Structure 1
């Protein structure tokens, strides 16, 4: 799934990854901070209208939880019902406005019970535009600052689509092919084997064991050699089919044939390779890695 925002950096995630983000400590702290800020600044004047502080705190806590729940439900429903297979593209304003419309009704209904406030269609229509604008501000702060932190903490690499897109070569005049394309053309003589180009050099896909990202370089293990070339892991991910390997960590890609087993731990897992190497498994990818490795080791049938 992808959610597009005004900054042109759409996060791409699965349902499992979305669940991990919503349960992460970074996101939960942010949600609690939003509820505290709304209570502290009394943005809607509920305490001024006679609402007790405890009731006001409860109201905003319910508001935040309800907004997150409805937002997630809209995304999941869209993912399940909208055409397009397993790909989903949605403007963030869609789940935001829907969730805030539902939450506005809930909050005003609760506020009318604890304060001298009218609960009517006129009041709802007065509050809704302001609430949507306020929620969009909080949501934008979450996408700009909180989501990247949760992404880094969980090792999910939610912006992989953006990285893959930025790795694509820019348009050039005819006859001026990039070095990667020239290397790829030169690699056509690899007996028809699948080839990937990293750092301007071609590699047979069936000879790659693993690729590790180190700052602006890639440490590539292929065949009997290991070398370091300038590049990004997105350069590899954009070229290899999904079934050819596994990304247990945002900095690693491991070929399927190189995997020998998995060492499970209470806090972290390690992917065991045939050459004796151990590759860390990000906490947010443990379930996916376990299922994938189990299926690979089980073999056909």
Structure 2
């Protein structure tokens, strides 16, 4: 196969993979918009997307390869897929958190200081944070639940899911004064948690009826936090 043909096929394959990826994410986003929340498993999605790309590239390669010669694209599909998985894993594990942190540091997330003699100076300052593509006022948060690579966020006025990591969001919530009863949960004083035992296991029940499990190692800290907030 001529070098220019191989180069053209790989360009077409890369663009096709990008189109398939955007299409899959768009379908998931539309379902989420209509409150149909389905788990998104990137390795499975990638395998489906690259499967279509591999078939397309194999067809193009055979058209540009002398008859009877195998371009070895489909036969090497598992090795190509494994390479893509490793690249995506590195991006999700290290790339996205770094981008979120950099964006948060640049945006700062704090309103500009007001003059002391301004009437607005007496208004309590609000903490603005970014969660994925959403910008919200931290003081309106009720709770956040981590699920796979996404955060399910509930505020006093809204509920949404965004791709983000709980560990990168919590440092921005210090002024809110919340607590983590479980590694996958963060709750704010506004959620008015009440400590309860459900089926013999420790939980906190929030203002909207949501039941949050409590890890044994965090129980003492949680009870002290509830007492300090005069919530129980």
TM range (shorter): 0.3 to 0.5
Which of 1 and 2 has higher RCO (CA within 8 Å, sep 6+)?
A: 1
TM-score (norm 1): 0.37
